[in-house]
Amino acid sequence: MSAPRDQFAEVDQSVLAVAEEPAVSGSQAFSVFFERRRAARQLVLDVLVARDGQRCQGCGYLPPDPGRLEIDHVLPRALGGTDTVENFQLLCRRCNRRKGHLRPDQWHAALARDSVAVMAALRVTMAAAAAVRPRIPSVEHAVLAAVVARVTAAMRLWDDVYVADIAVAAGVVDAAGEPDTKETGRRLRALRDRGLVVYEPSSIRGRPSRLGLHTAGTAMSGGGDL
């Protein structure tokens, strides 16, 4: 979906206005400045969501709230990039940190390498899972399938994931029909012990856990550094 060109111009002017409007003196200076920035960011975000959809342009992550995405310069400002909508894109936090000041061609090459690594890891993991399939309970296999689906959709070996999201995808619910995070966590630990997934539970309640697949060649070894 594309946004009208005149809407691009409106957003470009709004972004530039943050720097061009006269400074406010006194105790209100900071609050006024940051309010202008907040309003400009929301306007840019709305246009980018309309243009590109509510997805990270690096890995394809689709967050429930577009506010979780970050506005990135396609060509970094350090390399001459401009503060215009045509030079903006939406990235998730992890992709934005990894991209840094890479040029577009360097970033696309990095994404291609990620895809190759993910496909290699998927082949190894699925072969290892097939070898022990008779010994894996059906609920555990459903959790593994949810992890594989997440990795495939994002095309990255690991991510910060809420266990509740895996529970929903795997259909693991409690008696009240709510996502059973305790049972899902137990199954993830069992899969980790089998060497099929990477799982590092968050030490802070309410925060996502590190979850994904091993690099090719480390599945079933019980470890592997990502």
Query: What is the pLDDT, as a whole number, of residue 203?
Result: 87
Give how far Cα 200 sits from Cα of 155, 159, 163, Å: 19, 11, 11
CA distance linking residue 28 with residue 78, whole number of Å = 30
Given this model, what pLDDT does residue 147 score? 94
Calculate the average pLDDT of the chain: 81
In the block, tokens 């966590």 appear at 185
Residue that the structure tokens 């246009």 belong to:
47
Query: 14-28, 38-52, 124-138, 208-222 — which is least confidently predicted?
Result: 14-28
Q: In sequence order, which residues have a C-beta less than 8 Å from that of residue 56 and are 6 or more positions away?
A: 62, 63, 69, 90, 91, 92, 95
Model confidence at 164, pLDDT cuts 50, 70, 90, reads very high
Structure tokens at 76: 């970094």
DSSP class of residue 200 equals E
Q: 3-class SS at 64?
A: coil
21-30, 70-79, 165-174: which has the minimum mean pLDDT? 21-30
pLDDT confidence band for 75 (50 / 70 / 90): very high
Q: What is the mean pLDDT of residues 28-54?
A: 77
Dihedral Cα 34, 36, 38, 42, nearest 10 deg: -170
31 pLDDT higher than 80: no
| pLDDT (mean) for 91-118 | 90
pTM over 0.85: no
- For position 224, what pLDDT does the model report? 34
The SS3 assignment for 149 reads: helix
Q: Give 195's DSSP letter.
A: T
pLDDT value at residue 84: 87
Side chain identity at 111, as an amino acid letter?
L
